[in-house]
Amino acid sequence: MPGSTRARDRVVAPRSRPPTLLRSLALRNLRGYASLDLTLGPGPQLVWGPNAAGKTTLLEAIVLLALGRSHRTGADAELIRWGTDFLRVEGVVGIAGAEEEEAEGVALDVSVQAGGRKRIQVNGVPRRPAALAEQLRTVLFAPEEMLLVVGPPTLRRTALDQLAGPHTPMYGSHLTTYTRVLSQRNSLLRQIRDGEADRAQLRYWDEPFLASGAAIVAARLRLLELLAEPLAAAHLEIAPAEDPLTLAYGTNAPLLPGESPRDALARRLHETAEKEAWNGTTLVGPHRDDLVFRIGGRDLTTFASRGQQRTAILALKLAELDLLTALDGRPPLLLLDDVFSELDPLRRGHLVRRIAELPQALVTTTVPEDLDPDLRRRAHAWRVIADVEGARIEEGEA
């Protein structure tokens, strides 16, 4: 649709920097992989093979390089190959079309010991996880995200947190502080409920709770403002006959006229104080908020068909691509984990067109024949094979 293209152009800034690519990937003792070394080029990379062979693990390795953590588990020890005591994932990110003297790129390195110790390095220097995302941005589209619209609120809060991080430099720090303070506050509330502590002691935790909680809410609200235009454009492109798709922030601390997020949280803490003490838990705050998908002003969870849900999720992913590109003109690395089987031909077509616009994308599938023929012709194919020695990858046509 011409209108959707113009809307997208207003959001995405002109490329001020050359696109970056993940040039190489090396795995040691990651789940089924004992050892793997890949050299990756530009354009679509098609990874195919049977279920449980190791396709998703390959994408998981890239997520680990980009975020410092897995998108599939919160327990790092689960990632270490059975019978070994460490894992290591290394990658090199470089500028597409760089001259030979620039070809070395930026080296990313994430290792985990069996005891839980994790080390993150950028160019050999110890760094925090946020430093990884500065070099390697990713957008992941996986089958489990098909539940994003109608699944539990924690899925949508996680999506909000992942989206907000690149646009608010201190977001991860605020989230870490809030999680720690919330745990301490809830522990104290349980003691108050059981008569083992005094309510006056809550004042010590209320201040950092309000500061970090308000910062999270403010960042999320700003993110939804930034997403509004690219989301509407992507949805119009995919489903021109449907009413507009919008996102709303569902909160138990809504802002009254003239209130800031901190004011609203403070007011609701006061209003729920008695109930909190009775229940032994914090009843308000961003840990209980939600993301609401709406079409024509109606909550999708109340009426949306499976097709409408998939349209909304695909539109969100395409908007995420646009929003990350708009940061500095560098498109992120798109990771598609066997999602084409979840989409009808029309939606597949929109996704294929976006893949063609990107400097690099990784696509996994169990059945290559299900993919768009043009995408298969353009892609560099990798076949994943699982045997007694572990997972391995071979180049070859799909």
CATH topology of domain 146-328: Glutathione S-transferase Yfyf (Class Pi); Chain A, domain 2 (1.20.1050)
- What's the confidence (pLDDT) of residue 174? 97
Distance CA 139, CA 333 (A): 6
Task: Write a three-state SS string for the chain.
Answer: CHHHHHHHHHHCCCCCCCCEEEEEEEEEEECCEEEEEEECCCEEEEEECCCCCCHHHHHHHHHHHHHCCCCCCCCHHHHECCCCCEEEEEEEEEECCCCHHHCCCEEEEEEEECCCCEEEEECCEECCHHHHHHHCCEEEECHHHHHCCCCCHHHHHHHHHHHHHHHCCCHHHHHHHHHHHHHHHHHHHHHHHCCCCCHHHHHHHHHHHHHHHHHHHHHHHHHHHHHHHHHHHHHHHHCCCCCCEEEEEECCCCCCCCCCHHHHHHHHHHHCHHHHHHHCCCCCCHHHCEEEEEECCEEHHHCCCHHHHHHHHHHHHHHHHHHHHHHHCCCCEEEEECCHHHCCHHHHHHHHHHHHHCCEEEEEECCHHHCCHHHHHHCEEEEEEEECCEEEEEECCC
Q: What is the pTM of this model?
A: 0.87
The partner residues of 48 in beta bridges, in order of sequence, read 365, 383
Given this model, what pLDDT does residue 4 score? 39
- The CATH number for 21-137+330-398, chosen from 3.30.460.80, 3.40.50.1400, 3.40.50.300, 2.50.20.10, is 3.40.50.300
pLDDT of the residue at 177: 97
- Please say whether the beta carbons of 146 and 129 come within 8 A: no
- pLDDT for the residue 115: 86
What was the pLDDT predicted at 11?
Answer: 43
Instruction: Give dist(CA 26, CA 359) in Å, integer.
Output: 21
Q: From first to last of the 398 residues of the chain, give the pLDDT tens digit.
A: 334 343 333 344 444 567 789 999 999 999 999 999 999 999 999 999 999 999 999 999 999 999 999 999 989 999 999 999 999 999 999 987 655 444 579 999 999 999 889 999 999 999 999 899 889 999 999 888 889 999 999 999 999 999 998 889 899 999 999 999 999 999 999 999 999 999 999 999 999 999 999 999 999 999 999 999 999 999 998 889 899 999 999 999 999 999 999 999 999 999 999 999 999 999 999 999 999 999 999 999 999 888 889 899 999 999 999 999 998 888 999 999 988 888 888 888 888 988 988 999 999 999 998 888 889 999 999 999 998 888 999 997 77
Residue appearing with tokens 């071979």: 394
Residues near 332 by beta carbon (within 8 Å), at least 6 away in sequence: 137, 138, 139, 321, 324, 325
The Cα 328–Cα 67 span in angstroms is 19
pLDDT value of residue 146: 87
Residue ranges per domain, the chain? 21-137+330-398, 146-328
How far apart are the C-alpha atoms of 394 and 386, rounded to whole Å? 11
